[in-house]
Chain A
Amino acid sequence: MASISEIPTVTPAPAPTDKRAGGIHAWRLSWGLLVAAGLMAIVAAPVAAVFAFVLQPTNGLWAHLVDTLLLDYIGNTALLGIGVGASTIVIGTGCAWLLVMYEFPGRRWLDWAMVLPLAMPAYVLAYAYTDFLQFTGPVQGLLRDLTGWGWQDYWFAPIHSLGGAIFVLSMALYPYVYVLARSAFIEQSVCALEVSRTLGCSATGAFFRVALPLARPAIAAGAGFVVMESLADFGAVKYFEVQTFTTGIYRAWFAQGNPAAASQLASLLLLAVFAVLLLERRSRGHRRYAHTSARYRELHPTRLRGWRAGLATLVCALPLACGFLIPAVVLFDMALNSSEPLVLSRLLHLIGNTVQIGILASVVTVAAALLAIYAVKRDGRRLTRGLVSLSLLGYATPGVVIAVGIVITIGWLDAAIAGAAHSLLGVPTGLLLAGTIVAILYGCLVRFFAVAYGPAEAGLGRIKRNIEDAARTLGTSPRGVLARIHLPLMRGSVLSALLLVFVEVLKELPATMILRPFNFDTLAIEAFQLATTERLDGAATPALIIVAVGLLPVILLCRTIRRSRPGRTG
């Protein structure tokens, strides 16, 4: 698994530029293009549906929104994006620089442990910190014990606020910037840094004038992803009652029953997301800096001593503690001392539902990704590749928007099927797809297509053309090559793609919640419902299960990171 395969990029991998494209591998009848176009249609349909609904009349709700909440949505969403983006850049880049360039107590394990918060969905952090920081919680309790203050004697920053949302999202998302910045710093040859020192830069100067500009494309990619994720967040902001676009869409659709207004909000949010995407692309541009020197020397971290060493350890340990250790302990405590714990049968029922959705969605999504990868491989034309890379954009689309789009799309489909059945067979069919598990699977396919595509494509990329040709000259048919070469060599990548999608589906909240069949609860939905109905203790157990399963791919990532220092093995 590549060290950043955790982060599905929306930039498709560079096309396999094989000048020998063609030959006997040329696909006469381009089913590759057909598959790509089909996938694109499936993935794009919900987004297109959202935009198509924009012109529907809103019965005055839109005007009402403009007068009342729209400014709040815009302001809060923008502040959330900027706040989370800025703080993750500082935390992720700063910690990566310290851990790459300096030696201090705890560096060995901090190096990989920094990514552990990836297992914590932001809404789980939100539950944990609500418990941790509430009036009866340990922090305020300790404060009162120390000072002797009582109720209303003091001001305490409320976690249920925009600031609180920025805090939990930053803690959940900084590892994306950290991982990319870290590998960018490691990849830089130390020679470039040493040259800058001999040219009169101080150590700090070298960081700002050489290392940071060189790592900028990677940092921009990480931050762009983080901002898109914060714009897409639903669970944490909804729980904290912060009015953003995602909560606004949810409210317009379900509380006010106004699909047109929901679509209009969703379109605006989508435009913002794509603007961030474009901005990130532009800031990265083609500036993938080549190595400036051919010689590659291992970085020798400078040893820090005394208070500097202590400070470095503290700086790096703080985000890890806030993003993983403290919430994990709090959740455990909540689960163990819960006044009304979930009964086992209910828990097993939830796990059953979640696993069912997870397995089905990951199989469907990975199968679609494999289909797309082979379509591109067979038909390497620009058009085919373009269509597939458009399908990858589903990952940038917020879950709430996808859900709204799918409700509309499936509504159309049901109407079409019912109409056809009525005119052909004369029987009313009612709604076939709406409110079924198919809707959830569709949503997961759109949202997590890129998650499956990345590792699977990397796996196929490792199978060199010559290996396939060798198999052919040794008497194996194309189908035989698939069975005897691709299948065994792709197994690892396909498994990790399945695992990644499974975990994403497990953590996914808004789309599942909107699209699920009536009374179909998953772990994430149950936790959310318990938390929003003031039964936070009950939310702890399902949240902990989500985190525990989410740790699996994170542990794999940690192992990759531990091995990823040049010139070091094991």
Chain B
Amino acid sequence: MGSVALTLKGIDHAYGSTVTLRDVSLEVRTEEILCLLGPSGCGKTTILRLAAGLEIPKRGTVHVADRLVTGDGVFVPPERRDVGLLFQDFALFPHLTIAGNIAFGLKKLPEREQAARVGEMLELTHLTGRGESYPHMLSGGEQQRVALARALAPRPNVLLLDEPFSGLDTQLRQLVRDETLHVLKEVGTAVVLVTHDPEEALFMADRIALMQSGRIVQVGEPSDLYFRPAEAFAAEFFGEVNRISSRVSGAAVASPFGPLPAAGLPDGTPVTCLIRSEALKLRTVPPNGTTAPHAVVEAARLLGRSSLIHLHTHPSTGHTLHLHARAMGVSLLQPGTEVWIEVDPRLVFVFPTKEA
């Protein structure tokens, strides 16, 4: 990993009386893609705007590379920050050609270098030959690439991407996402990408910062967030979970399929168990030592690469729960089939229940 490209420390921010960010700190290194992930309205975009200098925080500092750009009485305007920003709606300049758009941020370079850089960027984003077109003549995917080329052209220290794929339809999105990832890795700049789509974050990110209502819940590599969520919110954000409310007894939690480990929680603590739907392995024959089946199949639905199986717990377990299990490929389970469940302990998370 390279040197630090962007640092935010202790940021508080509000729009009028609406608090948007509370004590946010972040660090992004060169050659790293950091995804800011969270539901809409959690303050992700505000972080980008603060880093770009389009917003002023109430408190806290922003450094680009090692230079203080916001805080302690300093405010460097956006045009002198060396930060690139790609907008959700691309915000291409309608009165300029593609080449003109890309060259917009290169005014300080001599003409010849400008032209060379524009050519380089067109090639990088596979737009060679479209330089003289105008934005309205391009498809959505091409416009996105122009916006990317324009933001990258001045070789910013940090590139900020605000939901860069949300303006594209589903089919195109996959493709553009892949292309963008390759371009970003080729350029090797530090990237902060905002998204509300966990799948997109997992696809793009070296590290993910998960946000909820103005604070950062957890920062880590994608596998950290998936396998070691810090909170119930983090566990639920990355996919469907089964929820079981219970109490700790003897460092374990009772469940329809036997006790689940709850290390470090005192007896009697009310807890919520979150079990990813892909953690439930269904068997039609009882494993050793088990007698009564755990659950009964209600329906099985093919979702493409995987199947979703709706279950309800067997009366003999003493629970009445509706469960979802996910299995690869087509499930051949018929409604009414009795199944035994084996749980992948890596995908079971126990958190103390928060007081409502």
Contact = CB atoms under 8 A, between A and B. Distances in A.
A499 B91 CA distance: 30
B87 interface: yes
Interface residues of B, number: 31
A197 B64 CA distance: 65
A200 interface: no
B17 to A, nearest CB: 12
B86 to A, nearest CB: 9
**Majority secondary structure of chain A interface residues (helix, strand, loop or mixed):** helix
Contacts of B56: 23-24
Interface string B58-100: 0000000000000000000111110111011101011100000
Contact of A23 (B49, B87, B94): B49
Interface in A470-490: 470-478, 480, 484-485, 488-489
B105 A19 contact: no
Interface of A: 19-20, 22-24, 464, 466-467, 469-478, 480, 484-485, 488-489
B5 to A, nearest CB: 15
Interface in B100-150: 104-105, 107-108, 150
B55 A470 contact: no
A24 B15 CA distance: 12
A474 B104 CA distance: 7
Given A23-B49, A469-B78, A475 B54 contact: no
B190 to A, nearest CB: 15
**Majority secondary structure of chain B interface residues (helix, strand, loop or mixed):** loop
Given A24-B54, A485-B93, A473 B108 contact: no
Contact of A469 (B87, B94, B104, B150): B87
A467 B93 contact: yes
A22 B46 CA distance: 13
A22 B20 CA distance: 14
Contact of B85 (A22, A24, A469, A477): A469
Contacts of B55: 20, 23-24
Contact of B52 (A473, A476, A485): A473
B16 interface: yes
A475 B52 contact: no
Contact of A471 (B49, B53, B104): B104
A285 B78 CA distance: 42
A464 B93 CA distance: 10
A472 B93 CA distance: 12
Nearest to B52: A473
B150 to A, nearest CB: 7
6 contacts: A24-B54, A24-B55, A24-B77, A464-B91, A466-B89, A466-B91
B13 to A, nearest CB: 10
A392 to B, nearest CB: 27
Nearest to A462: B94
Nearest to A488: B95
B154 interface: yes
B95 A489 contact: yes
